Structure 1
Amino acid sequence: MATEPLRIGTRASQLALTQTGWVAERLRTWSEDVAIVEVSTRGDLRQDTPIHRFGGDGVFVRELEQALLDGRIDVAVHSLKDVPTAATPGLEIAAVPLRALPFDVLVTGSAGLTLESLSPGAVVGTSSVRRVAQVLGARPDIVVRPLRGNVDTRLRRLDAGDYDAIILAGAGLERLGLVGRITEVLQPPRFWPAVGQGALAIQIRAADRRAHAAVLPLDDPPTHSAVRAERACLAALAGGCLAPIGAWSRGTATGKLALGACVLEMVGRTVSRLVVEEDVRDEDESPEGLGARVAAVLVGRGADRMLERMRDPAASATHPDGGTDVTGVTNA
């Protein structure tokens, strides 16, 4: 009797399908029969509403996780930065492939412009409070306006002249073959990416031996260790995917794992930030230990109070440039 195809679940956006196609191609190369199953998520269906208003963390992954639990799919492919740090019982992240560009990027309507060279009053599009805070921290003289939608939708609005520039995750443009649209890469220490940004999460049922064996070769151990540290830091800060927290972990020249994290607070157009950078202490410290230690240093410097103030609707509910909530993070 022929083995049933391994069913890979994905969101239906162009980027999600491209990412899942990459996974499927490699599994087929290893003689695994696969079928791609599209699953709609609440985050995709409600493009005109700030994310926190209809569910907050996990709005791009919950339906995929339920499809796994129900046995409708065998593997789910996520953008790791959308996956809550609290594991769903019965499921596990079995593989994290080699990371793509982990940083945010600026895309402008006029070639050659950077964040610093934008004219005063220029309009920049993003709905991520983490990005808004960092943009205004660098350029308090520009205007930041909300922008949701898939990558192609956002680029169309930029090209239509609705914005002078937009901020996107560089990995999305890289995977879609659109690196030529990148005007500037925004990276630490000036601009911190989301936890897990640029990485994929390959999720399966914890007890599914066939799926585990199939996807394990996709795992890149250095990437997996790095995102474990980032996610442990986020979990220890109790921030969630929507919090104004940035982090980036990577290997150093000496082979150690390093982690930097940034906590942001924005009240109106006034931005405060805390940054901590640490290396692993010794070979016995796990990525999770490094993440927890960085979080503890941040808390010792007041990060918990900053995050609590950002959760206060009176402090965070109004977009700095008028009228629209920005506390719901977009996913590209």
Structure 2
Amino acid sequence: MSNRTLRIGTRASALALWQANWVKAELEQRYPDLAVTLTKIKTQGDKILDVPLAKVGGKGLFVKEIQEAMLRNEIDIAVHSMKDVPTVFPQGTGLRCITKREDPRDILVLPAGRRSLADLPQGGRIGTSSLRRKAQLLHLRPDLQMIDVRGNVETRIRKLIDDHLDAVVLAAAGMKRLGFAEQIGCYLEPDVCLPAIGQGALGLESRLDDDRTNELIDFFNHTETACAVIGERAVLATLEGGCQVPIAAFGTVNQGQLTLTALVADVEGKTLLKRSTLVPTDQAHAAGVALAKELLAEGAAAILNEVYGCRTFPEAEH
């Protein structure tokens, strides 16, 4: 990297470019003499659009090629949606900053005349490829039909009409960032549908030994969001989870205390385990680990072992 240039690696989707351009604009405002460029990188997740993520590997599909570009010194930082970021990084890179969170909730895009989940007809067709969303909605409404939809935000919104769906589930953050807020039919509060781990936050990845770049980007880190996401990701790491199993965790910080809730469900939503804890913010990681272990002991181990097809987690003794 030259003295006056910083190279950002990003996916080429509309949402990824919005996020990367936001980071670019913030850097340029803070450092007027810094030239910031974008490098668009196509990831495996961008190439496979006709298969649900749960069947093609899930976590890592949207970051691997970007991380490889960083290791080849082709880019200096990567801008990721935190919910796409695995808990293990390639040697030499790491998560440097977690930005202030946008609205973390899920939302429904609905046809005219419908205003809530309760308005959906019996046997309604719901568009989502997320096992997390499917399991939680089926737990509430076993009558619903879950229809796999992939693609960018605009494509999935369009499928409401094109595929004759009764609702499409999306993240509020993406809808708002791309200017589609007026198309939000209703919000799914966390007690209805617990968000994905890291949902709404961005992560900035960099090389661990790149002191100059790390110093430039440190101002992006938002302490409260970072605390919440650290706790959420500790749940994920302890459960060894990915997109193949319905796992969720969501943290909020208030007056130095972290409220952290975690969830594991089977793919049909018949069994859903949810637990919460309240801890000081400096115990975020430990709280996530403890919460995950509590879920494992209370039945999550059996769910995860069935999904993964092997005995990965010890069963609780009875």
TM-score class, shorter: over 0.9
Determine helix, strand or coil for the equivalent of 2:19: helix
Change (3 A) 1:52 1:189: closer
Report the Cα distance in structure 2 between the residues aligned to 1:55 and 1:112, rounded to whole angstroms. Answer: 35
Report the Cα distance in structure 1 between the residues aligned to 2:260 and 2:273, rounded to whole angstroms. Answer: 14
Deviation at 1:242, TM superposition (A): 3.9
Determine helix, strand or coil for the equivalent of 2:277: strand
Q: How do 1:172-187 residues align onto structure 2 when only pairs under 5 Å count? A: 172-187=174-189
Are the counterparts in 2 of residues 83 and 241 from structure 1 also a CA contact under 8 Å? no
> Is 1:42 the equivalent of 2:44?
yes
Report the Cα distance in structure 2 between the residues aligned to 1:246 and 1:53, rounded to whole angstroms. Answer: 18
Report the Cα distance in structure 2 between the residues aligned to 1:175 and 1:40, rounded to whole angstroms. Answer: 21
Q: How do 1:138-287 residues align onto structure 2 when only pairs under 5 Å count? A: 138-252=140-254, 254-267=255-268, 271-280=270-279, 282=280, 285-287=282-284
Alignment deviations for residues 197-217 of structure 1 (CA, whole Å, 9 cap, x no partner): 111010011111121011111
Equivalenced residues, count: 308
Q: Which moved more, 1:183-192 or 1:97-106?
A: 183-192
Change (3 A) 1:299 1:53: closer
Change (3 A) 1:242 1:170: farther
Change (3 A) 1:114 1:214: same
Deviation at 1:4, TM superposition (A): 4.4
Alignment deviations for residues 261-283 of structure 1 (CA, whole Å, 9 cap, x no partner): 1111134xx52101110011x57
Determine helix, strand or coil for the equivalent of 1:271: coil
Change (3 A) 1:161 1:110: farther
Question: Which one of the candidate residues 290, 299, 321 is aligned to 2:296?
Answer: 299
Q: How do 1:110-149 residues align onto structure 2 when only pairs under 5 Å count? A: 110-149=112-151
Deviation at 1:299, TM superposition (A): 1.4
Structure 1 gap segments, 5+ residues each: 314-332
Report the Cα distance in structure 1 between the residues aligned to 2:109 and 2:51, rounded to whole angstroms. Answer: 23
Equivalent AA in structure 2 for residue 278 of structure 1: T
Deviation at 1:111, TM superposition (A): 4.2
Over the matched positions of the two proteins, sequence identity in percent amounts to: 39
Report the Cα distance in structure 1 between the residues aligned to 2:243 and 2:258, rounded to whole angstroms. Answer: 23
Structure 2 gap segments, 5+ residues each: 311-318
Alignment deviations for residues 87-139 of structure 1 (CA, whole Å, 9 cap, x no partner): 32111111111001111111112244211111112211001111111111111
Query: Which position in structure 2 is the counterpart of 1:19?
Result: 19
Determine helix, strand or coil for the equivalent of 1:3: coil
Alignment deviations for residues 146-190 of structure 1 (CA, whole Å, 9 cap, x no partner): 101110111111133531210001110011121111111112222
Are the counterparts in 2 of residues 81 and 241 from structure 1 also a CA contact under 8 Å? no
Are the counterparts in 2 of residues 43 and 60 from structure 1 also a CA contact under 8 Å? yes
Equivalent AA in structure 2 for residue 262 of structure 1: L
Report the Cα distance in structure 2 between the residues aligned to 1:12 and 1:105, rounded to whole angstroms. Answer: 24
Determine helix, strand or coil for the equivalent of 1:226: helix
Are the counterparts in 1 of residues 54 and 245 from structure 2 also a CA contact under 8 Å? no
Equivalent AA in structure 2 for residue 95 of structure 1: C
Query: Which position in structure 2 is the counterpart of 1:323?
Result: none
Query: Which position in structure 2 is the counterpart of 1:330?
Result: none
Higher normalized contact order (CA 8 Å, seq sep 6+, divided by chain length)? 1
Report the Cα distance in structure 2 between the residues aligned to 1:288 and 1:78, rounded to whole angstroms. Answer: 21
Are the counterparts in 1 of residues 114 and 120 from structure 2 also a CA contact under 8 Å? no
Are the counterparts in 1 of residues 245 and 267 from structure 2 also a CA contact under 8 Å? no
Report the Cα distance in structure 2 between the residues aligned to 1:92 and 1:48, rounded to whole angstroms. Answer: 31
Report the Cα distance in structure 2 between the residues aligned to 1:158 and 1:202, rounded to whole angstroms. Answer: 33
Report the Cα distance in structure 2 between the residues aligned to 1:123 and 1:55, rounded to whole angstroms. Answer: 25
Query: Which position in structure 2 is the counterpart of 1:311?
Result: 308
Are the counterparts in 2 of residues 109 and 161 from structure 1 also a CA contact under 8 Å? no
Alignment deviations for residues 278-308 of structure 1 (CA, whole Å, 9 cap, x no partner): 011x57x521111111112111211111111
Are the counterparts in 2 of residues 79 and 199 from structure 1 also a CA contact under 8 Å? yes
Change (3 A) 1:241 1:49: closer
Determine helix, strand or coil for the equivalent of 2:304: helix
Alignment deviations for residues 8-29 of structure 1 (CA, whole Å, 9 cap, x no partner): 0100000000011100000000
Report the Cα distance in structure 1 between the residues aligned to 2:57 and 2:299, rounded to whole angstroms. Answer: 27
